[in-house]
Chain A
Amino acid sequence: RKEVEQDPGPFNVPEGATVAFNCTYSNSASQSFFWYRQDCRKEPKLLMSVYSSGNEDGRFTAQLNRASQYISLLIRDSKLSDSATYLCVVSPPWAGNMLTFGGGTRLMVKP
C-alpha cells in the first residue's frame, strides 16, 4: 500500500462548480499534512497546511479525518485558473525532515 494515495483524476468540472478531493495516508501517527498545487510543467507550491480543526482560505477548505486517515480539499466556485494538479503531502512521525507526496489529482476547470 502506498503511504499517500490519491485519485489521479482528471476531474473535469465547469466553472463555478464545487469539487472535492480526498487523500488517504497509511501511517496513523502522521503529524503534519499539506496540500500543494502544481501547474503543468512547473514546480509544486504550497496551497495550504491542514490543521486538525480544519481550515479555510478563501474558496479552499481543507479537512483532516484522523479516524479514517484521510484529508480532503474542497474548492468552491471553481475558476479556470484552478486547473492544476493537487498534491497531498504527509509528514510521517518517523520522517524527521522528510515529506511524503501523493501522486496528485489533476483538476481541469472548463468554461
Chain B
Amino acid sequence: GNSVTQMEGPVTLSEEAFLTINCTYTATGYPSLFWYVQYPGEGLQLLLKATKADDKGSNKGFEATYRKETTSFHLEKGSVQVSDSAVYFCALRNSGGYNKLIFGAGTRLAVHP
C-alpha cells in the first residue's frame, strides 16, 4: 500500500542553520508529493508540492525535489528562522478515487535564536 516515512523529530537547530527533513514514500503509480506545515494550534498549510519526477517545489526558502529513483522528497532550507518552528508533514496523493492524502508522522522543528 501507499505510505510515507519521515525522519523522527524533534529537530532542534539554531537560527540560520541548514535544515533537512527526510521523507521517503512507497506508492503505486505516479503520486503527487506535498509538504505541509502546522503551526501550534492551527490546521495545515500547504508549503510546497511536486507532481512529477524531477520537479522541484519551492516556497518561502524551502525546497524539495521529487526523486523517483530514490522515492524521496526531502525538505531543505538554507537558513532557518525562529518563525519556522512548526511541525512539518510530508504527504502523497495518488491519482484516481477521491485523491486521498496520505501523511507521514510529522517532524517537529524547533529553531532557537
Are both chains from one complex?
no
